[in-house]
Amino acid sequence: MFFSIRCMWTWSRSRIAVHIGTQCDADAIFAERRFSIPKISFGRFKHGLSHGIEQQYFTIWYGVFTPKDRRLTYGSAGHPAVLSIQEGKVLQLRTKAPPIGCIENARFQEEICVLEPASHLILLSDGVYELERSNGSTATLDDFAEWALGERDLLTVRSAWEWAQRISIRPKLDDDFSILDLRFA
């Protein structure tokens, strides 16, 4: 499996869809869809897996942003939360569900949040924050979220990489390091 982040416009330009996750031909399934709401898309992804992509699974966080009303409709399936930084707070956006393809009749949920002006949406892999520390503990998403909130407008991929290098006892990271910081005007 490999990891990817996608951000695409719909044909109507009235919505933006973003997904992040591990891939088992999920890109091919995603490309056929028209940026529908996450709950419906997850069902379609699951259907795609049961028709020709046997015994595979993937994790995903999928969101559809509607600029007109600033609503983000999102859902996740076995993937870490996406961070939303707005109004001096950090929220972890996730819904409870197993990875797609793991459980036959899994149910998927979606949530809605409003993204205020000047908010950030940070999509990331767990390799960004699951780092072994010198005291033997492992850094968590909460640790990264606290750091990211303090950085806010100064946050960059480079500063996140430097944070990971400071936290980890290893000279090379054990996992992938994928991060995308979307800023909403």
**What is the sign, positive or negative, of the torsion defined by CA atoms of 22, 28, 29, 33?**
positive
For residue 43, give the nearest of 110, 112, 103, 108 by alpha carbon: 108
Tokens of 136: 């033997």
Q: Residue 75: in which H helix or E strand, if any?
A: strand 71-77
The model's confidence at residue 25, banded by pLDDT at 50, 70 and 90, is: very low
- CA-nearest of 102, 65, 60, 109 to 80 is 60
Give the model confidence (pLDDT) of 77-94 as tens digits: 888 899 999 989 999 999
Provide the domain limits for residue 177.
Answer: 2-184
At 21, which helix (H) or strand (E)?
A: strand 16-23
How confident is the model at residue 13, as a pLDDT? 61
CATH of the domain at 60: 3.60.40.10
Q: Crossing angle, helix 157-167 and helix 141-151, to 10 degrees? A: 130
Q: How many domains does the chain have?
A: 1
HSE-CB of 155 using CA atoms within 13 angstroms: 24
Return the minimum-mean-pLDDT range out of 11-15, 48-52, 177-181: 48-52
Separation CA 77–CA 75 (nearest Å): 7
Tell me what pLDDT residue 160 has: 93
How far apart are the C-alpha atoms of 119 and 88, rounded to whole Å? 9
Give the model confidence (pLDDT) of 109-153 as tens digits: 899 999 999 898 999 988 899 999 999 999 999 999 999 999 877
Using DSSP, state whether 181 is helix, strand or coil.
strand
Buried b or exposed e, range 119-147, using 16+ CB within 10 angstroms: bbbbbbbbbbbbbeeeeeeebebebbbeb
pTM score of the predicted model: 0.80
Nearest to 113 by CA among 68, 61, 179, 69: 69
